[in-house]
Structure 1
């Protein structure tokens, strides 16, 4: 944790630089409760801190009690792919200054044959990153779905070979909706020829719950040997104008069965890095805005609250 003096200096500098952080009560950055025994390391998704520069992002994440940052290195991210060689080292330097090691990053990478994708992975690996989330594939209309799965399997396999050379691991996230991978069976099929040590799944319990409310455990048990990272978030179904739709909510306030889920993680000994997402309304921070419409403190308080809830739910499972 930063000292009281350095925290005060940080806040003063931030205000002088344009109110990046509002003056706030000391308890807003109070020390978080220690993590329960056996709990994985929790990283904050930098998408929700894109209204801060690298230095501020790193210092806030450390103050709030996170173990690291899952850095967005993608279009409209904290680091743009075309600037990866100049800007990614700056982000890493800021993280290291507060005691974080570069570990997770989120990308739009799709193909090892793509020069931009290859350079991005090479740069990140050289800086010490270990896990990345790749982009989602999409079905077209020119082939059958099995034919598309074959095509995507080849791309995932190619990425796994590149990952092995670089010493990093790629992850494909299950995502609710029409993108490839809403069903864990699609991801399982795409991983069949990949190097299992260097390509796997980023398991998202929110999306798994939306797509398989009564059967999500089946998908989890199928994909669990391939899980490399985890995403934590929550949701409910809500009816608006006569139509049902998913609505993101703070952790523990939705329909995700965290008790059963965390028991399964413990039973299968799934000990991998965790990324916390906050996709409920936070003045644009939830959507990765570079300028937000709420006080910074609103976002920080939400992060601190969800992190504490995550620890409580883990301890109770």
Structure 2
């Protein structure tokens, strides 16, 4: 573990522009307490920073690690993954935090680019990866589409076993495969659960499931490997009802109840924190943002603080 002194020395140049007075040095230098979650910041929201500064900023804010985007328009591009991923992991972990998970567009073990991403992830000691969202096949029934992806995931699970990885499929709101809990359960039916599961997203679960999200959690809890945390509320935009993304604690997600259920199921998975509300383009992964960086950093700190607070309350 990097010491406080060496951390400051290593990151002083990379993060020299940061307003250090607004940050407290994190608990990254100590063991993670039992009453805290392992929270990783989704690097989509820091794509205006390079690898080293991303790690430095995440460490300063108190995150345990970074969920790194390895996909088109991400922090690491699939076509350069062999060289860029190890450099990214090295630079991020230089600040004393982890880089144990990546978000990808992986879909098939038969795709050479997808395989190259997984091989690079294995060499870089990544543990978890999230796949792409699957779409229902044109000209194929919904049931047959689910069986098709069930086979694709089984093959990915077999490859994961060889490479020492754990794949995750995220439940999502909308018309992609996995908006329903039962769709996720179906496509995971035949894969080895040690090497492929779900990235459970409570925001999307509540948007799609309303009050039945507890049933969805109960159904999928044996498959949960990683969770995503974000919040939302229903509101009207130009006269149309939509799910509006908001900071943690300002929306409809009952985090205390959710966390109590996770504890009841003896689940304490790694967390990927997403900030999908307006942050001058950072919420969309823009490389140039229209707000001061401090606005983004302060929002991340607030959401992180709320998450840890709710976990303790639960």
Q: TM-score range by the shorter chain?
A: over 0.9
Whether 1:52 and 2:46 are equivalent positions in the alignment is no
Q: TM-score, normalised by structure 2?
A: 0.94
Whether 1:207 and 2:204 are equivalent positions in the alignment is yes
Whether 1:29 and 2:26 are equivalent positions in the alignment is no
1:161-180 alignment, distance < 5 Å: 161-180=158-177
User: Per-residue displacement from partner, 1:228-287 (whole Å, max 9, x unpaired)?
Assistant: 000010000111222100111000110001121000000001121111111110011111
Distance 1:38 1:309 in 2: 13
Distance 2:96 2:9 in 1: 19
The aligned counterpart of 1:18 is: none
Whether 1:221 and 2:215 are equivalent positions in the alignment is no
Q: 1:120 to 1:260 in 2, by over 3 A?
A: same
The aligned counterpart of 1:103 is: 100
Contact 2:26 2:59 in 1 (8 A): no
Distance 1:192 1:282 in 2: 38
- Selected match of 1:264 from 245, 261, 266: 261
Contact 2:101 2:127 in 1 (8 A): yes
User: Per-residue displacement from partner, 1:162-197 (whole Å, max 9, x unpaired)?
Assistant: 000101000000010111101111010000110110
1:11 CA drift (Å): 6.1
1:7-18 alignment, distance < 5 Å: none
Q: TM-score, normalised by structure 1?
A: 0.93
1:9 CA drift (Å): 8.9
Query: Secondary structure in 2 aligned to 1:112?
Result: coil
Distance 2:272 2:241 in 1: 28
1:238-257 alignment, distance < 5 Å: 238-257=235-254
- Selected match of 2:135 from 127, 138, 162: 138
Whether 1:89 and 2:86 are equivalent positions in the alignment is yes
1:155-194 alignment, distance < 5 Å: 155-194=152-191
Structure 2 regions of 5+ residues with no counterpart?
none
Q: 1:13 to 1:163 in 2, by over 3 A?
A: closer
Equivalent residue pairs, number? 310
Q: 1:313 to 1:81 in 2, by over 3 A?
A: same
Distance 1:13 1:119 in 2: 30
Flag as ranges the 4+ runs of structure 1 deviating above 4 A. Answer: 1-15, 32-36
1:30 CA drift (Å): 1.8
Distance 2:25 2:12 in 1: 17
Q: CA RMSD in A?
A: 2.0
Q: 1:259 to 1:13 in 2, by over 3 A?
A: closer
Query: Secondary structure in 1 aligned to 2:99?
Result: coil
1:40 CA drift (Å): 2.9
- Selected match of 2:309 from 304, 309, 312: 312
Q: 1:169 to 1:175 in 2, by over 3 A?
A: same
Distance 1:217 1:237 in 2: 19
Distance 1:122 1:97 in 2: 22
